Each structure stands twice: as structure tokens, then as C-alpha cells.
Structure 1
Amino acid sequence: MGLTSNKVLLAAALLALALFVLTVWLWPRLAKRGPLAVLARIGVLLGTQLALIAALALTANSSFGFYASWADLFGRNTTPGVVVDHAAGSPTEGALQVLGTLHVNVAGGTVPRIGGQIQKVAVGGGPSGISTTAYVYLPPEYFKDARSRFPVAVVLTGYPGTAEALYKKLKYPAIAAGQVQHKAARPMILVMMRPTVAPPRDTECTDVPGGPQTETFFSTDLPKALEARYRVGADAASWGIIGDSTGGYCALKLALRNPGAYSTAVGLSADYGAPKDATTGDLYGGSAARRRENDLMWRLGHLPHPAVNLLVTSSRQGEHNYRDTLRFISLAGGPTKVSSIILPVGGHNFTTWSREIPPALEWLSAHLTP
């Protein structure tokens, strides 16, 4: 059974309950002196607490989508290359293959012309050499008018994150569909995925010297593959990117460093620079210049400001990035236009982002053109 299976969660909860009942029942018999009795009491208490902690951890993982599988949890997810079938004469780079379809969790979600459709796709590497999977939400309007082109929003998780959480937990497609229905936003294609396209390493959307070329994948390969498959706008004015936590940093960085690819970006609870730890390793090949160029504060303070629209979010209480967000806003200006959502209270979690995503999607839609 998988890590996110409801059966695993139920089994862990029942085990914790059974051990608790067993501890209460056995306690009078174990209330004796001597080393064996002491060890027995320690054993039943420890077993009960470990079972309870496991049940709580599985519940948190089910709610927030930290890990998708046991392999993901224990760092064994190396994600083998995706097999992409190419017909004769088709391009061998930047290919996109539809692996399957999913229903959208809205009224009429089983009928694409009414509820839209989510397609699981495999993106074959172009110049970056990276191959990965994503989930593409096509709005109902995509199936109603074969002539129209649509703006695109790339939606990123944090690290490690799971792409499935974007439509299951954070409900991006359902929110976007509801906003279009109420005329609060225009139809958009959503491309939902992890920024971790070379797992298990956290590349922070960086072209790592001698390593994964993640920035090239998001700025070049992904747009090229989507443009070849779907009716999307061909210039940056039609392309936006939104993400939470690490995905938020990626979104802001990709827009600031690649304004020819993305004109608009949203960073939900974003950092403004990449960490250096066991998950990232050395992202810049020891180059201080590369590190500075990937630091968003340094870029706004020392380099010309590109013509992009940015939205950043934080909370006065509960978010670690509040002061950095205010500084980021103060450094922007000129062609780089910044908006913000500042909540009074909110932690670094799905509950907070669920409060920010609806207004962020409306803002994103208003700044993208077909």
C-alpha cells in the first residue's frame, strides 16, 4: 500500500488505538518493581507513542502532500527517464506525450466541454536534457472553440512537494473554473508540476554547473513543448508562473531572469534566495557571481529591472519571510511592477496558501493576454 493510501492511514490509527487500549489493560500487571517490569512499562509506552506519532505524521502528509511515496520519503526516488514515443518525422526534442486524463472536481467535470480536463503528460527534454511529468488543466473553453489561443500559468509546488497536491489539495483547476464561471477571471491553461525535475536534488530552478539544467528546462524546454502541443500564446505576455515556498522563489526568479519567457509571476510565501544544504549541494560551482545573480534582492539592487509583473505574499505573524518581502517590495520599481497580499496571520502551509490562491489567480489572469 502506498504512503498516501487511506488504508495505510486507517491501519496506523487503529494500531495506535489498539496499543493505547493494550497499555491501559496491561498497566496494573506491569505495576511491579524490578528491571523486567520497568522495561515492559517503557516498551508499551514507547510503542504507543511511536504508533501515535506515525498516525499523526501520515495524517499531516495526507493533508499537505509532503511526500508522494515511500521511496520519496526515504530519498530513494530517482525517477527513471520517461519513455516518449515519437512518430516518424516528429521532433525528438521538446516532445510532449499525453499519458492519461483525469476528471476535474467540478460540476460536469466528466465532460471536457463542461468541466474541462486534466491531462497527465510527459515532457521530453530539449536543450536541458531533462524529462519529467506534469498535469495540464485545459478549461472547458479550450474544447468549445478550436480557434482560440489561451494564456498559460505554470503552477509549482514547494520542495519536495507532489504535483498531485496542486489539484487535489490546493484545487487550482476547480478555483480557476469557478472564477471563469463567475467572470472574475479569463480561461487559462494550468501546467501543474514540481520544481524538483531532477529528484531527489533540490536545484532551486538553477542551471547547476555540471548538473541538472533546471532553469533552461523551465525557460526554454517546457514552453516549447507546450506550444507544440496546445493552443497557447507564443510570447511572454501570455505566460505566467506561480508557486509556493521553493516554487514561489522559482517563479519570481524565472520571471526576473527570463522576462522573454514569463511576463508575470506569483511567489506565495517565497524565499528570495536559495539555501545551501544537504538537499541542494553547491548549486553554483563555487562561483560567488552565480550565487549573487540568483539572489533576487541582489538583482533588484544591482541590475536593470525587467518589464515584468510580480505578486508576492506573506503574513505579519507566522511567516518567516515577512521582513524580506517588505524589502523586496521596496527594491522593485520602474518596469518591474510588484503587488502583494499580506495576511494578518498565516503560517507556511496549505491553509494559508488556500487563502491566497484565489486572489492570486484573479491577479494573474488580469495580467496575461491570449
Structure 2
Amino acid sequence: MTDGVVQLLRQVRLLHPWMGAACLAVVAAVAAAVWVTRTRHLPWRRQLAAPLAGAGTGATCWLVVDCLWRPFADGVGGTVWLWVALTATVVVQVLLGGDAAADRARVRERKRRMVRAAGSGVSITATVAAACLAVNAFFAAYPSAAAVLGMGVATTPLASLPAAATLPRHPERGQGALEDTWQAPAAMPQTGAVVTATIPAGDQSGTDGFTPRDAYIYLPPAYLTPQRPALPVLVLLTGQPGSPSDWFELGGLKDSLDAYAAAHAGLAPVVVVADLLGSPYRNPLCADTVRGGKVATYLERDVPAWIRAHLQVDDDAAHWAIGGLSNGGTCALQAVTRSPQVYPTFLAMSAEEHPTLGSEQRTIDVGFDGDRAAYAANDPLSLLAAAPAGSYAGVAGVLSVGTGDDRYAQVVPTVADAAMRAGMSVTEREYPGGHTWAVWSAALRDQLDWLGQRLALTA
């Protein structure tokens, strides 16, 4: 696809405050039009079949997905099933048609049949499109048509970017803030680059195995110069369902980091968005388990080792951080409580109170093969409560949540209290919104200044 078309698609914005109401109005208009032209002459029992079928479809999908299959701990959400029900209602309306004899009389001519078929297609298409746009707006997910098609951010494989090639001399840093000693070269790029790379999982013996998807990596402008400084590292995680690309396609990560780098002479953390799931429909609980594979080992050993071997960054773990949202925020807490020597700094956004598959007992039974001790060894609150004095000295982080995120807002004070009792330094922050990308993208932008000071990038 040409650059011009991609740029045009990026201009088609899908997130507006009025989007949900507009979509509901469209569906109401379509349903009314179908009723007037197709079903108003039907017996009332036949007309009633449409809303009943819609409600039944929505309820069935909820039962199968959220209650039986349960691929997501929090469920898909009532808003999604409501729109499934509305869409099914209109589709059934279209399929019901009118009185059979009258229908045959009206559609005897070929042109009339074509017009009727086109009207049916338009009605169903408009309803499905409105439902998708409304659900997208509710979750504040895809910001543009380009993001829907996976074209929101240009990427290239790490090995194919000449400016990211390994330099003969590993970068070094002096004492104090990096910004105080860094001089940006005249030829430094104005913006950073987004690259992809495969970070393989190590030994998965004794488990069902964990195969991570490719990581997405942000390299700031300063990294893309021959005078490459020793930059700090942020390992970032997404939620579930999700993929590493979401932080760029949905969270506007590159724009946020480019803006930060522009204000700091091209300096910003190297951000590695690693995979913690293996699939949008898996939740390996950020732990080493038979069912999910060795995800904890991957994030706390394999990923740091790969970064140090393939990226020229600051080797000092004091200048490394881990962060994430929702399921990924919980995973960030798990990683820092299990391995504070690897990640002594964290950003936990809209995190869960515990790793979960829906309930504590189900999590223990399904996720940890009934081993409650294994569950406790991967539960941040349990680890914080049982830690010997001094275990988390020097560890600091930010716990954040949306003001409208009722389910997760109560987690922040609980985790903050447990963390501070264990010796961590914790800051709590709130942002307008719910459990959506609108909150998480704003949270990251806001927390970059704190993170830069914490990682000794700025004074």
C-alpha cells in the first residue's frame, strides 16, 4: 500500500466523544427503516422474533465466552454483548422479510429483487459497522483506520536498520544524570525508530511451552547516532487480549516518546515491548507453570539477557524499569516483587490485585495445577507480605488507574499500602477515564518525567 494511502487512513479518526451515540442512532434508524419497509405488516408474534433472537444471541455469546470458555479473566464486557444483541436483532429483521405472497409479488421483477437484496446488504453492513465503531469507541482502542489495518506505526526489523547497528565501542556513562553530559550531534534524527525483533524463550522443558510473539522496540534519536549514549531501559507489557504492537498502534507510544526525546536533546529510554501472553486468548499468569510455560523466566532472565546482547544500552539494572497495563500491570508487579534486582523500578497501570483466571480458586486449580504455594509465590501481595525486611529497599514505582475504572480503582491503595509496608517507595496517580487506552496512553506520557529522573536520564 502506498505511503499516500497509509497517510490518508491515518487521518480517518475513529475516536470521538460522540461516536457511541452516533452509532446507536444509526442502528435505530436502520431498524426503523427495516421495520417500515419489511416487517411492519407481519403478525406481532413474527415481529417479536427479531428482538427475542437478538437478546438470545447476545446472552448465548456471553454464556459461551464469558462463562464457559473464559479466555479473559475480566470477561469481554456487557457493552460488547449489547451490541451483539442489537446487530443480531437487525439481521433477523432483515431475514424475516414480509408476507410470503406479497414478497413474491414485489420481487417478481429482477430489478426489484436486486434493489431489495442491496437494501438488505446495506442494512446489515451499516449495523455491523456501527456496532464495531461503538465498541471501539467504548474501549478507546483503535484511533484510526490505519491502526485497524496494522499500519498506524511504521516498523522495520532491527537487523534491517543501519542506524541501529552495533558500534565498535559499547557506550559508557559517567556520574549523575545522562542529560548533563550528553551533547546531541548535529546529524541526529529528529524522531526515534520502531523496530521489531524475535526474543526467543529459553528452556521450556517440563511445560506446555511458551512461544512469545515478536517484540516491538522504540529506539530514541540519541540511540541512532554514532555517539550513542548508555540509555536506560523500559520493558513494557500490554494487557490481555493484546499484542506488543498495541502500545504503538493503540497507545501512541512513539509519539509520546518522540515528544519526550525532543524535550531532552534526543534522549529517552529504550523501550522494549515484550510479549507476556503468546496469544491474545491465553493468560499464562506471568508465571512459570506447566500450563502456560516459563513466562516469569522469560521476562526476568531471557528478555534482559537478549537486550544486553543485542542492544547497546546501560547495563546497570538500577537504570532498568518494567511497566504494563491491566494484566500487564499485574505482571509488572509480579516481576518486580519476584526479581527486584532485575527491575527495581515499575509502572503498574490499572493492575489487578492478584494474577487471575476469574477467581482465586479457579486460578489455583487451572493455572497452578491446584498448587496454592505456587500461586502465592507469584502473587505480589503474598510476596510483599512475606518478604524479609530490606528485600525491597531502593525499589520504587507508580501505581495508576482511571477515575472511572471502578473495578480497578480499589486495587491501587491496597497494593500501595502493601508495597510501602514492604519498604518500597510508591506514588499513586489517577487519570480521567475508565479501563481504556485513553487512560494508559495518558498515564505513560505523564509518568515519563518521573521515570526519566528515576533512571538518571534527567536531573
TM value normalised by structure 1: 0.74
* Counterpart selection for 2:289 from 195, 208, 211: 208
More strand by share: 1
User: Structure 1 stretches of 5 or more lacking a match?
Assistant: 71-96, 102-110
Q: 1:50 to 1:361 in 2, by over 3 A?
A: farther
**Per-residue deviation, residues 243-265 of structure 1 (Å, max 9, x unmatched):** 11011111111111111211111
- 2:141 is aligned to 64
1:54 aligns with 2:128: yes
Give structure 2 stretches of 5+ with no counterpart.
1-8, 15-21, 54-87, 94-122, 150-156, 162-186, 205-209
Mapped partners of 1:133, 1:178: distance in 2? 25
Matches of 2:274 and 2:367 in 1, distance apart?
A: 21
- Structure-1 separation of matches of 2:341 and 2:430: 28
| Equivalent residue, structure 1, for 2:33 | 24
CA distance in 1, matches of 2:403, 2:298: 35
Higher helix share: 2
User: What does residue 201 of structure 2 align with?
Assistant: 125
Matches within 5 A, 1:154-169: 154-169=235-250
Q: Distance in 2 between matches of 1:147 and 1:285?
A: 47
- What are the within-5 Å matches in structure 2 for residues 331-342 of structure 1? 331-333=418-420, 335-342=423-430
Range with greater deviation from structure 2 (245-254 or 327-336): 327-336
C-alpha spacing 1:33/1:216, structure 2 compared with 1 (3 Å): closer
In structure 2, the partner of 1:76 is none
Tell me which of 282, 285, 290 is aligned to 2:366: 282
State the AA in 2 paired with 1:98.
L
CA spacing shift, 1:24–1:175, aligned 2, 3 Å:
same
For residue 327 of structure 1, the aligned residue among 403, 414, 431 is 414
Q: Structure 2: how far apart are the matches of 1:292 and 1:22?
A: 52
Partner Cα distance (2:319, 2:335) in 1: 15
**Aligned-partner SS, 2:376:** helix
Q: Runs in 1 of length 4+ with deviation above 6 angstroms? A: 16-19, 39-44, 278-281
1:360 alignment counterpart: 447
Q: 1:314 Cα shift?
A: 2.4
* 1:98 counterpart residue number: 158
Counterpart in the other structure of 2:405: 318
1:245-294 Cα distance to aligned partner (Å, 9 max, x none):
01111111111111121111110111121113499772222111111222
Letter matched to residue 450 of structure 2 = W
Determine what percentage of the aligned residue pairs are the same residue.
24
Distance 1:57 1:154, change over 3 A: farther
* Residue deviations 1:132-175 (CA, integer Å, cap 9, x gap): 30111101101224442211111111101132221122112221
Matched with 1:267 is 348
Distance (whole Å) between structure 1 residues aligned to residue 228 and residue 426 of structure 2:
33
Q: Distance in 2 between matches of 1:225 and 1:146?
A: 22
CA positional deviation for 1:69? 9.3
Please give the per-residue CA displacement for 1:212-258, whole angstroms capped at 9, x wherever unaligned: 10010011111111111111122321211111101111111111111
- Could you tell me how far 1:21 is from its partner in structure 2? 5.3
CA shift for structure 1 position 327? 2.0
Say if 1:152 and 1:277 are closer, same or farther in 2 by CA, change over 3 A.
same
Report if the CA contact (8 A) 2:194-2:217 is conserved.
Answer: yes
What is the count of residue pairs matched by the alignment?
Answer: 324
Residues 185, 346 of structure 1: alpha-carbon distance in 2 compared, 3 angstrom cutoff: farther
Aligned equivalents of 1:198, 1:22: Cα separation in 2: 37
1:295 aligns with 2:383: no
For the pair shown, the structure with the greater C-alpha radius of gyration is: 2
TM-score norm. by structure 2 comes to 0.61
**Letter of the structure 2 residue corresponding to residue 285 of structure 1:** D
Contact 2:240 2:281 (8 Å CA) reproduced: no
- Superposition CA RMSD, Å: 3.9
1:293–1:183 distance in 2 versus 1, CA, 3 Å: same
